[in-house]
Amino acid sequence: MEIKNRPQARGAFLVALLSIALLSSTVSGWPQQGVAPRPVAPLSAAEQTASSSVKVETIKEVTAALSADEMQGRGTMQPGGEKAAAYIADRFARLGLKPLGDDKTYLQSINFKAVEFGPETGLKIGDEQLKLGREFFVSAPYIDKDVSGGLVFVGYGIVSSALKRNDLAGLDVRGKMVLMMDGPPANVDKKTWEKEELEIRVLVNLIRQRAAGLIFLTGDTDPDHPFSEAADYLSRRRVMLASEDETDFPSFYPSFLSVGKQAAEKMFAGSGVSLTQALAQAESNSFAPIDLKKNASLTVRVKKSKGTSSNVVGLLEGSDPRLKEEAIVYSAHYDAYGMTDGNRIYHGAADNALGVAEMIAIAEAFAKAPVKPRRSIIFLAVTGEEYGLYGAEYWAKNPTWNIKRVAANLNFDGMGTEVYGPVKTIVGYGAEHSSLGALLNEVAAANKLKVIGDPIPSEKSFYRSDHYAFVKKGVPALMLLGAPEGDAAAWIARMKGWEKTDYHQPGDIIRPDWNWEGPRTLSRLGVVMGMRLAGSDAMPAWLSSSPFNRERGTNAPPPPEP
């Protein structure tokens, strides 16, 4: 699952706004709205046969193969990622799926570019070297650079007659490394802050005065996601589409950095003012800049590269002469964070080798079923999910099937909660938006499974996986997650513990205590949902109450994320 937005990840957004300014010189579930209950339709003989043919052995085998060291973390635009794509294509071929990629192959190639920091990148405070990816990270610009200067703390950096405040009084910031906090201060109303456009004005002022570097002091405000976590993510290799524009920074632009409390305390050591005292002073309109009596030196070295990575697409053609022109798409991302120069492998077993394995087990069940579905079935293993849903977005915009005839998308991606025990609970992210919600309730009831709403709505998981690319193109979609029965708080606590230690880390590996019947149950549910979707006379429909309600294939942007 794609990394959620963190408060610390602000550099790119600010830099984009600043470029414009400078150049212009100025645990509750969702409400199940509109999902009407249906009578429970028992499983048909064909559904029982197909779903019972989902094999635990297939799920275990594929998960183990994709998360093995040999796959090198399945990195986008890395050899391990291409090896994983070839493995999935081979599985599709062995099941008799037709190629639905480029040039009658299973692979849909996507051009990417990447940038990563070289080992020389570092920040030195006085005589002490700070650790990239733990104590600090670089937001922008991603270019080779060497800067140094005296270190000063400027509070919030505010210069505003409206607020009767000047945090730079008596200070020439030219050539300085400026340590500052994000506003607004506690005594400033947020509406006033926004009306005065102070977030941008503060930074534009510091840039125009030619500060050498802007260092943001970011506190550990969320105990579940400390600064070191954000620093780790934001210091990793960045991957983007080759077609994406990159900001061309003027030569006078300072470097944007962020540090946590641990690094900030080192900056204040020997200054005569403690970090706690300085933060308290910064809340007052009478704040005065503080000379931290040491130099800060930054070295940035970046390596840029270009290459390709591939979606893997297979087709099971439908049996109905008319309906086979429409398709159900199963999706799962196969990429993880790959392998670093230090041979650190991000195995991505739960996220998302397991989801791919569940999808392949579904494909196997359909391929072996004696009764073929009326609609066609597409199996789509996508790349680049962890960096921004790139593979799914690319397929939705460059579909290898008429997007207006994609009936629905069922997506498998999560944190492995289905291995915590026998699955008795189902979450369908997006169920409240379309008739897929009623179908999920119906099929779950037939399998004696309980459907609940999003157990952690603050995580905004609906927006963070590949189904969302389909939603934005007007295609009804669900992401399916399985969990054990009982109090949700118990498995959520286990998931949060795993999130702290293994999520998007090398420790996401297969564990001895995994219950493999859980993934099988989730795959069986996916099979039956797909069969009913494939056999229905009408395609699923958006609910009139949904903000995503529009025609398939349309490019109108969706409402803003909440």
Mean pLDDT of the chain: 91
pLDDT digits (tens, 9 = 90+) for 49-76: 999 999 999 999 999 999 999 999 999 9
By three-state DSSP, how is residue 529 classified? helix
Cβ neighbour number for residue 489 with a 10 Å cutoff:
10
| pLDDT (0 to 100) of residue 209 | 96
Beta strand extents in 317-449 (DSSP E only): 327-333, 338-339, 345-346, 376-382, 406-412, 423-429
Give me the mean pLDDT over the 33-55 stretch: 81
| pLDDT (0 to 100) of residue 226 | 87
Q: Counting every residue, how long is the chain? A: 562
pLDDT digits (tens, 9 = 90+) for 358-392: 999 999 999 999 999 999 999 999 999 999 999 99
pLDDT digits (tens, 9 = 90+) for 436-454: 999 999 999 999 999 999 9
Give me the mean pLDDT over the 540-557 stretch: 91
Distance CA 216, CA 203 (A): 11
For 13, 183, 208, 227, 271, the CA distances from 124, given in Å and listed in that order, are 26, 26, 25, 19, 16
| pLDDT (0 to 100) of residue 32 | 41
pLDDT band at residue 4 under the 50/70/90 scheme: low
By three-state DSSP, how is residue 313 classified? strand
pLDDT digits (tens, 9 = 90+) for 202-261: 999 999 999 999 999 986 656 677 898 899 999 999 999 999 987 788 888 999 999 999
Please determine, for residue 12, whether its predicted confidence score (pLDDT) is greater than 60.
no
Q: Please indicate whether residue 6 or residue 265 has the higher confidence score (pLDDT).
A: 265
pLDDT digits (tens, 9 = 90+) for 469-482: 999 999 999 999 99
* Ramachandran angles phi, psi of 124, nearest 5°: -110, 125
Give me the mean pLDDT over the 141-170 stretch: 95
Between helices 56-66 and 517-535, what is the axis angle to 10°?
Answer: 110
Percent of the chain surpassing pLDDT 70: 91
Give me the mean pLDDT over the 263-270 stretch: 96
Please determine, for residue 539, whether its predicted confidence score (pLDDT) is greater than 70.
yes
Give me the mean pLDDT over the 513-522 stretch: 97
| pLDDT (0 to 100) of residue 341 | 82
Please determine, for residue 510, whether its predicted confidence score (pLDDT) is greater than 90.
yes
Nearest partner of 391 among 380, 402, 400, judged by Cα: 380
| pLDDT (0 to 100) of residue 303 | 95
- Give all domains of the chain, ordered by start, each with its CATH number: 31-115+305-535 (3.40.630.10), 120-300 (3.50.30.30)
Percent of the chain surpassing pLDDT 90: 84
| pLDDT (0 to 100) of residue 163 | 92
Please determine, for residue 432, whether its predicted confidence score (pLDDT) is greater than 70.
yes
